[in-house]
Structure 1
């Protein structure tokens, strides 16, 4: 049968997919999936059905199917967010949604192409030069996901040295040599390009261009920039030292790499000569040499792409893989050398000094080329590092709009960033990262996204903990892995594991300012006020850390000092011109007042925050304060605005909005309705903050179901690593004491009240919760 849809022709007998008469290279298993989908008549096909149909004789994981779908989408040019061909039905399966015309093959003329005469890919004599044999592709695919259906030891190609000089255009040429002896698990160190052309525009630029090209390969593995910079430090070198071939070889030896690549650009008359050499970093043996000569500066990026492609082929990467994942550099980045240079310098500074100095260079790159997708993506990440929600969203949305101007690997990153920062659709972000992991198994970023944001948002801290460990396994010098391991350990109340994660990073000379905050949290949870103070002294201008100290002070009833510290945090963010951060810190100050102090002051602070930002986190915080302090109409307006503006956002739709609606129902004396509204939040209630659990407890208490209410409040207290110093740590214990008192359990009630009295022993007189605890305790003790 032949299936016709849009401009595509899917031929079952010839096992081929063509578009406009041109054959498209598709991995055989992926093509089998497409045949099953196209023949389904638009029905939903469960993942189980597809797996059984395509891999019936082999056990594979579900992620193998995810990878096949990703490959098909690339081949078809299908956008998973607005699909034309393959629609994902979350957790269930896939549906082919394009209209399909089914034609008996005898009714159509055979294609007049050479490829139509080729054998079925399972035929051992098939000789298609573009589509690799099924067995070859499967070996690569299974290796990438860690499932090996048969024994094979990797790539090794020997043979006599053959050197051929071929003119490709306008005097361009390259040199063939014997294939290098590099296996799929070998790592490569990329040296700086030697630039003797006299044009400084090529400094850093060509090396970064080569990184982009080689990282498209699912097989090759470049030693990461953080690992290179750390190794340079251990060698007593400055981390931003020029990575000459000799220095790169020493780095390669220290990290256990297999080869170094060093490139060069020079002038030959009016032309540019671009070269690339591969050497065994232990023996110095020359493994491969490539060279291209071009007549114009504007042709250099295209020449760099061709050299990278040739090298990947000669390393032993399959033709199918190289064909599928080989976006030309000008399309994967920018045709502007000036923009690419600014971007390259931004990457270099980010890896040596951090986000602050890198941000202006990424911004410059987007100004030089407004269509530079990767530059917009990195700019969005830099703004996110500084808590600038609005600017981060703007840049990330722009990169997503330009995602077709990026490589497949970078597209994964752009898609994940878009869902994390813009749409908030964590289910899509999770699917993207899982497909990313299996397409690029040596990439640490998807593991970092899963461990740092996605799994914690679902309250799945064990999974997040495991993904953080995988991040470190993939790249032991990627500091985000240690940071996420520490955070998830704290969430799981494994304080020793958290401290060890930070120490492991320190032992490798890795540091990020957030480690100081993590040490503060560990000290807080251990009740170590001395170490809390030391952490604060290490980062006295970190507005968030100053704000955390304000909450710690308020928790012990020192409201005047807490207010002063809160104002200091806001001023620090104002001085740094961070409007979104300032708004969120204003909300934090209003929450302190709402729980511990003056409701009127809480409302004023909240409305001030809203004038600074209407970001989802700010708006949620303001709505919460207004609901708690009696401004129901304004709180409802903000709640509905959140629901309308962030329709895809998982946390907004399944946590923020139900929580606000339930709180408003509770304030309106409708506890039954509050419980119903919170049902949708049950799968997300252990994501921070834990207010849905608290509101459920309050609703149960209002209904006289004190025993069930006590269980909810106890759930909060059982997760100190999630609650930290949030007012819930005080309020939940107060409500637990009240619940036990209503149950007639004076022993437990007395214990909880006395714990609070000890905590609030020297509280300020204006701390209303201290007065409430004393009053309720005295009332309980007066009972006979």
Structure 2
């Protein structure tokens, strides 16, 4: 920070002596549009995050902020610091924008030259003047560079470029991959000398293209190459081209790209036959949704958009209203279907409409005789429509199956299914189930209706009935559209081969990258397996405006960011989730603050939690333990059990683990032991009945109990749990169950005096996706084996990964409190290991840090002995 002090001192003293400095000017591109899109509240939140980013980067790159509005003016001692700031600033704003589904781009100009700085009087500052003023020729040169830069571009002068280029290694690995490009000689208005302009940027991020000419900066080119001398020839060519275009111009069209979105308006039924209303609209959606080229905005999202537009969610979505929704939600086209009778034949037709002009750009129709022809007509129209939008005919043939094969020929069954979909979109699960059941009564081979029953029954937490419907749907898999068949495979694997489930959801997400339920489930399953870097792209892809449940995906984004210790991004994602849908993100904000030891803020967030929700006490218990409030932790963990509505359900078992841990920390070992055995026995008993929907959580609950029993000296109890689980071959194929079972075995080996064998068992588990408790056991095994440097590495890792301690998802969060406890105990363990190396001073400092967190006198007796 010495450089910052130097600039600060200079700014405080009036001086006529010019100083040689690096000057950086940046600008946020299209800031007015940004404000319009975000609104006042969103803009304020955006710039709060922006200012935190700027402050952090100032400190990192030793910069002095002179002025800011939509852009920034900063001074640096060295060009490499200014470049580092510019690159990180562009990246940081891009991340902030992604959370809002906005592309925020910056431009920057960097120059080295002499500047004059002086401080304004206090009175002038009070009246609105900047505290420090900067002037000199370097400032307008940097401003010219910034003004002509393209979005995402960093332009440098010929003075700054060689100095920064030579120091690029100071940027680390990133500096080795930067691209340095010359854009030749330029003229700046008001500057006599020619200016050589250079661009520096990261591959795939920077435009790496010459800037455009402007009235104040233009490329210095020979006369013979200047556009004015070619004007006559260009005009002649243009005249010929324009004339030819008017003579041969194509019909109106939409610039539709692969994976663009469309809004389907409500069906116009001109036949007077109300049986066709819902059934044909649903059939058309099913037919169109088979495309991987065209994305259809779900009916749930359309109704959600109407609500957000403060309109009746049941309003008729005609072409005008559909156009408004399309513009609001980023859809490229509106499609309005119609059914009518023409000359005694039943006609199905569609119009493709430009939402901005409401002009019909395509229209297709197909006629048939009688109701039995209508599904074939829909298939014909859909194929022609997809071809018009640009999808290859071969791809249409490959991805499409006839509607009678993937729905039902019974229009009454199809109508019942459509009404079930409509009720499901309103979260009226009882009515939805009734409609789905009616559809399967009318046509027992209607696979989509069975799949609808699966979704509803799982939403109602009725796993046994859901399983029956799932098995029936699996029998009829050949009667599902290709996308829904993959969706079914993923669901079935959750019960038959759960070790394959994450891969199944990822396969679906790859095949149909804009199928938002597939993205969301892929993210969740990868997150549960601690595969955070793989999960994040899926979660971000699901958190888009076209997703009516994007609040859930923002929550997943936040949980992944928390587990990766990206705290500002996690907090922003949770805040966005709460804005969209409320829900459980409030408890994650508690974890995010607590993981950073911002306990006052965490307590404030915790006061907003729903005290009737048993799961919300998990964070409250962990927060109390984190602060050494043992009795409070016990009271909170017991409260979680008291508010349970279903004491025999899964939560009634996994919540016993933090209750037992709190009993132990509060000094009641007997109650802790009894509670752990009760949790383990209940979970093991259910697993003996076979593999069920809660099998993995029950197994990890039992293993969580075993880990705490080992610490309490109950080696036999822990061993019996592992032996019981080992008899279930299917359970032991689950990665998390196998890993935690290995942790319990390794801990038993260490306590039996065989730490080297414990290390050999644990070390292969460290893959980047290991559980927090695996590292805890490895630390102790290394320490007992005399491998002190390796043990120290683990102790420091545990202290640094507090986001993972709070964010890891195992047995419904039942190990969160234990992880948090160990993140603090690792601090004292590091002190003990350092003392063992003879590093008494370092050990004493670390022990003082631990004592400030948990004073020795406040520790339970059994923790003092650790």
TM-score when normalising by structure 2: 0.59
After TM superposition, the structure 1 stretch with the greater mean CA deviation from structure 2, 240-249 or 555-564, is 555-564
Quote how far apart the aligned CAs of 1:438 are. 5.1
Instruction: Give the 3 Å change call, closer, same or farther, for CA 747–347 of structure 1 in structure 2.
Output: farther
What RMSD in Å do the two structures reach over aligned CA positions? 4.2
Q: For 1:693, which of 769, 775, 793 is the aligned residue?
A: 775
Match of 2:359 in 1: 284
Contact kept in structure 1, 2:798 and 2:822, CA below 8 Å: no
Instruction: Give the 3 Å change call, closer, same or farther, for CA 691–188 of structure 1 in structure 2.
Output: same
Quote how far apart the aligned CAs of 1:267 are. 6.8
Instruction: Give the 3 Å change call, closer, same or farther, for CA 388–302 of structure 1 in structure 2.
Output: same
Match of 2:610 in 1: 539
Match of 1:652 in 2: 737
Give me the whole-angstrom Cα distance separating, in 2, the residues matched to 1:568 and 1:357. 35
Quote how far apart the aligned CAs of 1:323 are. 0.9
Match of 1:174 in 2: none
Match of 2:695 in 1: 615
Match of 1:55 in 2: none
Give me the whole-angstrom Cα distance separating, in 2, the residues matched to 1:684 and 1:401. 39
Match of 1:46 in 2: none
Contact kept in structure 1, 2:657 and 2:704, CA below 8 Å: no
The answer as to 2:860 corresponding to 1:770 is yes
Instruction: Give the 3 Å change call, closer, same or farther, for CA 627–227 of structure 1 in structure 2.
Output: closer
Instruction: Give the 3 Å change call, closer, same or farther, for CA 716–354 of structure 1 in structure 2.
Output: farther
Contact kept in structure 1, 2:416 and 2:436, CA below 8 Å: yes
The answer as to 2:644 corresponding to 1:553 is no
Instruction: Give the 3 Å change call, closer, same or farther, for CA 256–536 of structure 1 in structure 2.
Output: same
Contact kept in structure 2, 1:665 and 1:673, CA below 8 Å: yes
Instruction: Give the 3 Å change call, closer, same or farther, for CA 306–202 of structure 1 in structure 2.
Output: same
Instruction: Give the 3 Å change call, closer, same or farther, for CA 249–241 of structure 1 in structure 2.
Output: same
Give me the whole-angstrom Cα distance separating, in 2, the residues matched to 1:615 and 1:219. 38
Instruction: Give the 3 Å change call, closer, same or farther, for CA 352–519 of structure 1 in structure 2.
Output: farther
Match of 2:831 in 1: 740
- SS, match of residue 496 in structure 1: helix
Contact kept in structure 1, 2:408 and 2:414, CA below 8 Å: yes
Match of 1:488 in 2: 560
1:424-439 matches, cutoff 5 A:
424-426=498-500, 429-430=502-503, 432=504, 436-437=508-509, 439=511
Give me the whole-angstrom Cα distance separating, in 2, the residues matched to 1:552 and 1:516. 14
Give me the whole-angstrom Cα distance separating, in 2, the residues matched to 1:321 and 1:758. 65
Instruction: Give the 3 Å change call, closer, same or farther, for CA 424–207 of structure 1 in structure 2.
Output: same
Contact kept in structure 1, 2:589 and 2:605, CA below 8 Å: no
Instruction: Give the 3 Å change call, closer, same or farther, for CA 588–733 of structure 1 in structure 2.
Output: closer
Match of 1:516 in 2: 586
Give me the whole-angstrom Cα distance separating, in 2, the residues matched to 1:476 and 1:520. 26
Q: For 2:649, which of 561, 579, 583 is the aligned residue?
A: 579
After TM superposition, the structure 1 stretch with the greater mean CA deviation from structure 2, 618-627 or 194-203, is 194-203
Match of 2:754 in 1: 670
Q: For 1:661, which of 738, 745, 751 is the aligned residue?
A: 745
Instruction: Give the 3 Å change call, closer, same or farther, for CA 257–475 of structure 1 in structure 2.
Output: closer
Match of 1:16 in 2: none
Give me the whole-angstrom Cα distance separating, in 1, the residues matched to 2:614 and 2:415. 33
Instruction: Give the 3 Å change call, closer, same or farther, for CA 513–219 of structure 1 in structure 2.
Output: same
What CA deviation, in whole Å up to 9, does each residue of 1:697-752 have, x standing for no partner? 22223323343223213212211111025322223432552453254244454455
Instruction: Give the 3 Å change call, closer, same or farther, for CA 159–512 of structure 1 in structure 2.
Output: farther
Contact kept in structure 2, 1:192 and 1:207, CA below 8 Å: yes
Quote how far apart the aligned CAs of 1:309 are. 2.8
Give me the whole-angstrom Cα distance separating, in 2, the residues matched to 1:226 and 1:588. 38
Instruction: Give the 3 Å change call, closer, same or farther, for CA 224–572 of structure 1 in structure 2.
Output: same
Q: For 1:726, which of 795, 817, 821 is the aligned residue?
A: 817
- SS, match of residue 580 in structure 2: coil
Give me the whole-angstrom Cα distance separating, in 1, the residues matched to 2:737 and 2:615. 23
Contact kept in structure 2, 1:179 and 1:314, CA below 8 Å: no
Contact kept in structure 2, 1:620 and 1:656, CA below 8 Å: yes
Give me the whole-angstrom Cα distance separating, in 1, the residues matched to 2:656 and 2:385. 55
Give me the whole-angstrom Cα distance separating, in 2, the residues matched to 1:245 and 1:554. 58
What CA deviation, in whole Å up to 9, does each residue of 1:657-709 have, x standing for no partner? 433433443454433332222244222544xx411111112222332334322
Instruction: Give the 3 Å change call, closer, same or farther, for CA 274–704 of structure 1 in structure 2.
Output: same
For the pair shown, which has the larger CA radius of gyration, 1 or 2? 2
Give me the whole-angstrom Cα distance separating, in 2, the residues matched to 1:594 and 1:159. 87
Q: For 1:683, which of 767, 774, 793 is the aligned residue?
A: 767
Match of 2:23 in 1: none
Give me the whole-angstrom Cα distance separating, in 2, the residues matched to 1:276 and 1:429. 39
Give me the whole-angstrom Cα distance separating, in 2, the residues matched to 1:538 and 1:690. 26
Contact kept in structure 1, 2:799 and 2:827, CA below 8 Å: no
Q: For 2:312, which of 238, 243, 249 is the aligned residue?
A: 238
What CA deviation, in whole Å up to 9, does each residue of 1:282-341 have, x standing for no partner? 242252132444424x66445433432343234442221111111223433455555544
What CA deviation, in whole Å up to 9, does each residue of 1:599-634 have, x standing for no partner? 233212332444567612212221341354221442
What CA deviation, in whole Å up to 9, does each residue of 1:743-777 have, x standing for no partner? 4244454455555554456999xxxx63234456x
Quote how far apart the aligned CAs of 1:548 are. 2.4
Q: For 1:222, which of 296, 299, 302 is the aligned residue?
A: 296
- SS, match of residue 520 in structure 2: helix
Quote how far apart the aligned CAs of 1:216 are. 1.3
Match of 2:726 in 1: 640
Match of 2:160 in 1: none
TM-score when normalising by structure 1: 0.65
Give me the whole-angstrom Cα distance separating, in 2, the residues matched to 1:183 and 1:661. 58
Number of paired residues?
A: 590
Contact kept in structure 2, 1:195 and 1:203, CA below 8 Å: yes
What CA deviation, in whole Å up to 9, does each residue of 1:191-231 have, x standing for no partner? 12234666655554433332222121121122345653453
1:394-413 matches, cutoff 5 A:
399-400=473-474, 402-413=476-487
- SS, match of residue 652 in structure 2: helix
Q: For 2:525, which of 453, 456, 476 is the aligned residue?
A: 453
Give me the whole-angstrom Cα distance separating, in 1, the residues matched to 2:749 and 2:438. 50
Give me the whole-angstrom Cα distance separating, in 2, the residues matched to 1:199 and 1:460. 53
Q: For 1:703, which of 785, 793, 809 is the aligned residue?
A: 785
Instruction: Give the 3 Å change call, closer, same or farther, for CA 284–699 of structure 1 in structure 2.
Output: same
What CA deviation, in whole Å up to 9, does each residue of 1:511-552 have, x standing for no partner? 251322322322333424455454553533332112322333
Contact kept in structure 1, 2:654 and 2:679, CA below 8 Å: no
Instruction: Give the 3 Å change call, closer, same or farther, for CA 467–593 of structure 1 in structure 2.
Output: same
Give me the whole-angstrom Cα distance separating, in 1, the residues matched to 2:310 and 2:762. 57
Give me the whole-angstrom Cα distance separating, in 2, the residues matched to 1:626 and 1:283. 65
The answer as to 2:248 corresponding to 1:184 is no
